[in-house]
């Protein structure tokens, strides 16, 4: 491909960077041919590339970063923080390779922080490559910061696990001092069985997950280079065609042998996981947080693969079948009396769905199960206890796709997110908030009756749209259900009734549902055109992303409204819950109440009869 053709392509796209998939579509060739052409231009010095959250790679002219006006970037080396004013997709892509988004404000300022784990997991083959990426993103050299990053980079390469030629597991340290003063001091008795050299020790195979956790917490991530059993063979044929980025996910996973697929809701992580099952070709254990999700997995496998009903087993409170493909709940797999059955099987693959649960004590025991391949799935691998780093330690590195790339390609609808700030419905409610304490204050703010009028106004402004109204508190859900004449689905709703309501919402005449936290994950809740978060789980970024994800459809316009009472901590929580989405390039705006604006209809409520 001539370089002039590449520039013409950029001009047609009206942006300075493209992916191989976009080039393939423009040139009417295969993605492999487009990739080879881009590689050729890069070797000639015309192009450079950058992994956007590891996948897909974006390509841009080599002189682009020198000729463009840069955003204003301020570096605080001692705090290891970076503030960027209105960062472009390119800059966000670079920063995501070694930092994480902490906060955004109304003026489009982005605050990033560089943590140890961000450096340990940086998607670069060498420190020099990471250093170049940092200098490009920051537009400057920050020697003190680079020195700290280099120390962390080297720290992440001081220990490794490997399989000895005689079949047992060995921990190798970079020096005798590290083995004696770090590993042997930090690990519990029985993890290391015996030394086999000054820098190597024999590891109890059942304790490898415990070893990796302990050394990670001590500040020394362990490279896992063991040759694990392949597992018993199982032929799986996928009947669906994968999207280009899903194919790349599968390829990257097969290359590494472990990893976590990270993509927005609606991007098809479950389908990609079935593609991984086909590529691995081994008996598979799928772990899920609840029974309903286990049933959904079974239905998806039967509908989209060559697997038969006799090859798929469910293992949870209701059914206990271990078969070539077994779908179990985390809780069951973590119990001693059941784990022995899973340990006896030679799994070729373990899939951890909703993998952000894995760091919790009862769930992470399942990470000790032996397998050749570990695959995690999550749209939001973030935790408010900052234990998300353990996800990648126990399962594998992140394998993700830039959300904005999927929005641009039309695979997923970019949600329009608006934080609505509401006044108190009355002075009485405001006084009640002032006299309450701690958790009670949050509940009073969440239950502000002004939200009822605001929900009416939002529903009125989207006639005929499918709308989901999320609540955190059962009492609030019950009140809204009565006031709006809309069914409320909570954990107390019988499963049969729940399935009926979701079915009516998905394909029937029902336009609105109120759902509690059961709607956040783990159930087949149909996508909606409008999502309204009437109250939420504090500042949980994961919950905010999951609820917005209910509107991420390939077609149409997706809207999410986050309601918050003015002058309360709920206002800050609303901003915090949308922070993960802002870091993915989603625009989040704020405005004051519409229903309570002067002269706006609906302030006084009135009858509602939503289906």
Over residues 187-242, the pLDDT tens digits come to: 999 999 999 999 999 999 878 878 988 898 888 988 877 776 556 789 999 998 99
Residue 547 has pLDDT above 60, yes or no: no
- Quick one: which of 370, 362, 365, 390 has its CA closest to 378? 390
- Tens of pLDDT, residue by residue over 147-160, are 999 999 999 899 99
For 101-105, 121-125, 597-601, which range has the lowest pLDDT when averaged over its residues?
597-601
Among 49-63, 456-470, 580-594, the minimum mean pLDDT is found in: 49-63
- In this prediction, residue 598 has a pLDDT band, given cuts at 50, 70 and 90, of very low
**Contact between 533 and 559 (Cβ < 8 Å):** no
413-592 shares the fold of 3-66:
no
Are the beta carbons of 602 and 459 closer than 8 angstroms?
A: no
| Higher-confidence position of 468 and 198 | 198
Does residue 185 surpass a pLDDT of 50? yes
Q: How confident is the model at residue 15 (pLDDT cuts 50, 70, 90)?
A: low
Q: Rounded to an integer, what distance in angstroms lies between the CA atom of residue 241 and that of residue 261? A: 18
CA distance 358 to 354: 8
- pLDDT value at 67 more than 70: no
Q: For residues 89 and 64, give the distance between their C-alpha atoms in angstroms, rounded to a whole number.
A: 14
Percent of the chain at pLDDT exceeding 70: 73
Q: Could you please report the per-residue DSSP string of 251-304?
A: HHHHHHSEEEEE--TTS-HHHHHHHHHHHH-B-EEEEESSHHHHHHHHHHHHHH
Give the pair of three-digit tokens for residue 442. Answer: 């949050």
Q: How many C-beta atoms surround the C-beta of residue 218 within 10 A? A: 14
Residue 18 pLDDT > 70, yes or no? Answer: yes
Q: What tokens appear for 371 in the block?
A: 């397998």
The whole-number pLDDT of residue 170 equals 95
Superfamily for domain range 413-592: P-loop containing nucleotide triphosphate hydrolases (3.40.50.300)
Residue 257 C-beta-side C-alpha neighbours within 13 Å = 11
Q: Which residue has the higher pLDDT, 268 or 279?
A: 279
**466-487 CB burial, b ≥16 within 10 A, e <16:** bbbbbbbbeebbebbbebbebb
Q: Which pLDDT band, with edges at 50, 70 and 90, does 609 fall under?
A: very low
pLDDT at 562: 87
pLDDT at 64: 57
What's the pLDDT score for residue 455? 92
Residue 519 predicted with pLDDT over 50: no
Residues 369, 339: Cα–Cα separation, whole Å: 8
Burial of 15 (0-12, 13-18, 19+ CB in 10 A): middle
d(CA 59, CA 54): 13
Mean pLDDT of the chain: 78
Architecture of domain 3-66: Orthogonal Bundle (1.10)
| Mean pLDDT score, 566-583 | 74
Task: Pick the closest to residue 329 from 522, 92, 575, 122 (CA basis).
Answer: 522
Residue range 498-514: mean pLDDT, rounded: 84
- Nearest alpha carbon to residue 277 among 216, 327, 331, 317: 327
Distance CA 93, CA 224 (A): 27
Of the listed ranges 385-394, 447-456, 534-543, the least confidently predicted one is: 534-543
323 CB-contact burial (10 Å; exposed 0-12 / middle 13-18 / buried 19+):
middle
pLDDT at residue number 406: 60
Decide if pLDDT at 515 tops 50. yes
Structure tokens at 413: 């609808």
Q: Where are the domains of the chain?
A: 3-66, 69-155, 159-220, 244-407, 413-592
Of 88 and 423, the structure prediction assigns the larger pLDDT to 423
The reported pLDDT for the residue numbered 541 is: 38
Residue 243: per-residue pLDDT: 85
Give the phi and the psi of residue 61 in degrees, each rounded to 5.
-60, 145
Burial 329-343 (b: 16+ CB within 10 A, else e): bbbbbbeeebbeebe
- Say which CATH superfamily domain 244-407 falls into: P-loop containing nucleotide triphosphate hydrolases (3.40.50.300)
Express each pLDDT in 285-342 by its tens digit: 998 887 778 888 999 999 999 999 999 999 876 678 889 999 988 877 766 566 667 7
Q: What is the mean pLDDT of residues 495-514?
A: 83
Q: What is the pLDDT of residues 389-412, one digit of tens each?
A: 566 667 777 786 656 566 555 556
Per-range mean pLDDT, top range of 75-84, 496-505, 536-545: 75-84
């Amino acid at each position: 491909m001539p370089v002039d053709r590449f520039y013409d392509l950029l001009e047609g796209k009206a942006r300075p960077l493209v992916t191989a998939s976009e080039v393939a579509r423009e040139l009417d060739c295969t993605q492999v041919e487009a990739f080879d052409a881009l590689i050729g231009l890069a070797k000639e010095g015309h192009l450079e590339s950058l992994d956007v959250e590891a996948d897909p790679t974006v390509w841009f002219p080599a002189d682009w970063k020198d000729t463009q006006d840069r955003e204003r970037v301020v570096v605080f080396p001692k705090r290891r923080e970076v503030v960027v004013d209105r960062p472009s997709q390119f800059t966000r892509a670079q920063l995501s390779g070694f930092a994480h988004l902490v906060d955004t404000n109304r003026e489009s300022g982005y605050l990033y922080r560089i943590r140890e784990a961000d450096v340990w997991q940086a998607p670069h083959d060498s420190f020099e490559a990471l250093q170049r990426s940092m200098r490009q993103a920051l537009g400057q050299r920050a020697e003190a910061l680079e020195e700290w990053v280099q120390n962390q980079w080297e720290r992440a390469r001081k220990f490794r696990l490997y399989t000895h030629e005689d079949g047992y597991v060995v921990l190798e340290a970079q020096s005798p001092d590290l083995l004696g003063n770090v590993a042997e001091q930090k690990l519990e008795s029985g993890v290391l069985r015996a030394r086999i050299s000054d820098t190597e020790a024999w590891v109890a195979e059942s304790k490898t997950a415990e070893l990796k956790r302990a050394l990670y917490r001590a500040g020394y991530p362990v490279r896992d280079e063991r040759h694990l059993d392949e597992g018993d063979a199982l032929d799986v044929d996928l009947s669906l065609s994968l999207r280009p980025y899903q194919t790349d996910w599968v390829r990257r996973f097969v290359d590494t042998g472990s990893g976590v697929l990270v993509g927005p809701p609606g991007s098809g992580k479950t389908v990609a996981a079935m593609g991984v099952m086909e590529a691995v070709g081994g008996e598979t254990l799928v772990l899920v947080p609840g029974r309903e999700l286990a049933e959904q997995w079974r239905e998806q496998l039967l509908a989209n693969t060559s697997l038969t009903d006799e090859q798929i087993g469910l293992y949870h409170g209701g059914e206990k079948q271990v078969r070539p493909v077994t779908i179990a709940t985390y809780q069951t797999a973590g119990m001693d009396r059941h784990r022995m059955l899973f340990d006896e099987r030679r799994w070729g693959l373990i899939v951890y769905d909703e993998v952000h649960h894995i760091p919790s004590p009862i769930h992470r025991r399942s990470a000790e199960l032996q397998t050749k391949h570990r695959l995690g799935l999550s749209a939001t691998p973030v935790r408010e206890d900052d234990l998300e780093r353990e996800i990648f330690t126990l399962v594998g590195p992140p394998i993700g796709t830039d959300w904005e790339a999927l929005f641009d390609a039309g695979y997923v609808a970019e949600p329009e997110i608006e934080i609505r700030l509401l006044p108190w419905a009355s002075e009485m409610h405001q006084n009640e908030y002032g006299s309450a304490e701690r958790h009670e204050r949050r509940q009073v703010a969440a239950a502000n009756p002004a939200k009822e009028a605001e929900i009416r106004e939002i529903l009125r402004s989207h006639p005929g749209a499918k709308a989901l109204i999320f609540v955190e508190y059962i009492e609030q859900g019950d009140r809204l259900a009565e006031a709006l004449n809309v069914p409320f689905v909570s954990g107390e709703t019988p499963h049969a009734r729940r399935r009926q309501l979701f079915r009516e919402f998905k394909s029937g005449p029902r336009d609105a549902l109120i759902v509690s936290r059961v709607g956040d994950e783990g159930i087949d809740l149909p996508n909606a055109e409008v999502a309204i978060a009437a109250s939420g789980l504090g500042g949980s970024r994961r919950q905010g992303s999951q609820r917005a994800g209910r509107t991420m459809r390939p077609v149409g316009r997706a809207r999410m409204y986050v309601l918050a009472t003015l002058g309360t901590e709920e206002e800050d929580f609303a901003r915090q819950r949308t922070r993960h989405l802002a870091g993915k390039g989603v625009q989040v705006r704020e405005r004051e109440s519409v229903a309570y604006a002067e002269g706006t209809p609906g302030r006084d409520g009135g009858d509602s009869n939503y289906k």
